[in-house]
Chains A and B, each alone.
Chain A
Amino acid sequence: MPAPLRVLLVDDEAPARRRLAEVLSDCAATLPVQIVGETDNGLDALSLLQKLPVDALLLDIRMPGMDGIEVAQHLQKLHRPPAVIFTTAYDTYACQAFEVNAVDYLMKPVRAERLRTALGKAHTLSQVALDALRQAHPKARSHLSLTEKGRMVLIPVDEIVYLKAEAKYVTVRTLAREFLIEESLVRLESEFAEKFVRIHRNCLVARNRIAEIGKLPGGQDAHYLRLSGLNEKLAVSRRQYSNLREALGG
């Protein structure tokens, strides 16, 4: 007898999780399954994944806060990412992306046979598939993630004060500390255009943290910017200075 498949249920609606558990128990005769946990939100799902051994994730797409696609993006950083099966009640755009990229998904209400088939062939997601899903559901992430000493660290985007590109990495600065992530500043800029504004070729700052913009003594037309809570003067390039004035409404 094979070891049971260890499954984590993630859905913000309690009835939906109960229904999945019932249908899973119906499958038990032909497909041994063990529900190792369930949660109503993406953040808890990611922390459970680090504590429990999970083979497959039944993951709702539309959830408040961190949605299912973002959870899938972050869990790629895990040492051995589990297989992901998305669940959704209705979603024309995402379903097209699922089909094209051979992503496993189930439509709610879920039938026992479909669930059994999906669990039988479930596999981990590819980066290409994830990017396609994100495009079908354009939404900025709520967190950035990285691995530190084998553990996943999540940084809430709301806590980030600036992002600075250096060589291969981007430094993520919060009031408390700094992190290094491997992402491109250009992509971060377009994803978080609502919250961050470019002040220099290599730097994006949180719009709502800007405390002061001033002229540097000596330099002609050289400006600096200070963020609230941070005792650091960031250089504003001449080119970005006018954009910045415009973005902040003169």
Chain B
Amino acid sequence: MRNKNHNKQDGVLPNFCHFGVSLKIILAVEAAAYAQAWAASGGPVNALSLLISQSALLQPALLLTLVTLCVGGRALRSLRYSAGLAVVFCLALTIPSLVALSTNRALGDIPQASLAGILMFSGILALLLLGYFHLRSKALSPAITEARLEALQARIRPHFLFNSLNAVLSLVRSDPRRAERALEDLSDLFRALMSDSRTLAPLEDEIALTRAYLNLEELRLGDRLKVVWYIDKMPADALIPPLIIQPLVENAVYHGIEPHREGGEISLNVYRSQDMVHIVIRNPYAGEGHHHAGNKIALANIRERLSLHFDLDATLKSELLGAVYQVHITLPYTRARTPSSSPRR
């Protein structure tokens, strides 16, 4: 199983549509162009005027390349990683050259924009940037493999597993039907935990998983656990990294409900605002600082996975609002290609 996935471990192409990715590319290219102009003209002021005269070529070439990479992103990422890299590299060479040829025809000759120079400039930058994104995805993918192990060992806390099994056993004689449902929930939960958590999955799957988890907790905690769902307006087809809501809700139960005899209320609010999906989870705050290391690990892990998938476009904010602890995630709204293609449910 591990070997089959091995080629995926090479790395993933960045999503060029994301603001963070495009921003990094634009800044790098502009900085390189300025440096090149400085070297060519011998001073910062002359460099600026040279840069402006080159802009007629540079800006359209850069933007066209980015747009192409964004539009073709899905096709590129479906290729093998090495093939994807090669195609991106070729695009980064050909698009600026084509732009240069066509502007030359339209506007007449542009100084200092020889085709060889453009090819060299684009080639070096493309290599540097692809190298950077490669290293970055390398640095983040072990975190994801680790996340799966951690998910098995720590996220579903052993404490939760054994208490749940104990609760199921207590139902076997008195309420066998309910015991069956509880075991079904438990197997759904573990199936999700053991599956590959690197591909995005529809939001509704994550919500179903969270419900299965909460059903089990309700069995144990009874009236102490109250859950309020605000999900009527959620974009069910939005793609999100799997296992980002359930672990946060588990934290909410562990820190917000279990330490209180009288229990408390957890609220889960999922909605879409313009192009962003918002996920807000709230739980009562005990006021005491113990057991918080586990929470920090879970948050750091989710943050890393959000960053790998969405770069700067996704945010995770946790804060204390009086006696309420809140985690707020925002991520860009992307849809599954074919609706209801999910094989899971």
Determine chain A's interface SS by DSSP, over half rule: loop
Known A15-B171, A90-B159, A91-B159; further 12 A-B contacts with Cβ < 8 A: A13-B167, A13-B220, A15-B170, A15-B219, A16-B163, A16-B170, A19-B167, A41-B261, A64-B260, A89-B162, A90-B157, A139-B290
Is residue B131 contacting chain A, with contact meaning CB distance below 8 A? no
Is A90 a contact of B162 with CB atoms below 8 Å?
yes
Is residue A62 contacting chain B, with contact meaning CB distance below 8 A? yes
Is residue B221 contacting chain A, with contact meaning CB distance below 8 A? yes
Q: Which of A14, A41, A64 is within 8 Å of B258, CB to CB? A: A64
Q: Which of B157, B161, B169, B221 is within 8 Å of A13, CB to CB? A: B221
| Least distance between A14 CB and chain B CB atoms (Å) | 6
- Whether A108 touches B171, Cβ cut-off 8 Å, given contacts A64-B258, A64-B261, is no
Of residues 82 through 116 on chain A, the ones whose CB sits less than 8 Å from some CB of chain B are 89-91, 107-110
Query: What's the A-B contact tally at a CB cutoff of 8 Å?
Result: 56
Q: How large is the interface on A (under 10, 10 to 19, 20 to 34, 35 or more residues)?
A: 20 to 34
| Cα separation A216 to B240 with both chains bound (whole Å) | 65
Is residue A22 contacting chain B, with contact meaning CB distance below 8 A? yes
Which residue on chain B has the smallest CB distance to residue A41? B261
Is residue B174 contacting chain A, with contact meaning CB distance below 8 A? yes
Of residues 50 through 89 on chain A, the ones whose CB sits less than 8 Å from some CB of chain B are 62, 64-65, 89
Complex interface bits, A137-180 against B, C-beta within 8 A gives 1, otherwise 0: 00100000000000000000000000000000000000000000
| Cα separation A41 to B174 with both chains bound (whole Å) | 24
> Which residues of chain A are within 8 angstroms of B222 by Cβ–Cβ distance?
13-14
> Which residues of chain B are within 8 angstroms of A139 by Cβ–Cβ distance?
290
Is A16 a contact of B162 with CB atoms below 8 Å?
no
| Least distance between B69 CB and chain A CB atoms (Å) | 49
Is B259 a contact of A64 with CB atoms below 8 Å?
yes
Is B170 a contact of A108 with CB atoms below 8 Å?
no
Of residues 29 through 65 on chain A, the ones whose CB sits less than 8 Å from some CB of chain B are 40-41, 62, 64-65
Is B159 a contact of A89 with CB atoms below 8 Å?
yes
Is residue A18 contacting chain B, with contact meaning CB distance below 8 A? yes
- Whether A90 touches B170, Cβ cut-off 8 Å, given contacts A15-B220, A16-B163, is no
> Which residues of chain A are within 8 angstroms of B220 by Cβ–Cβ distance?
13, 15-16
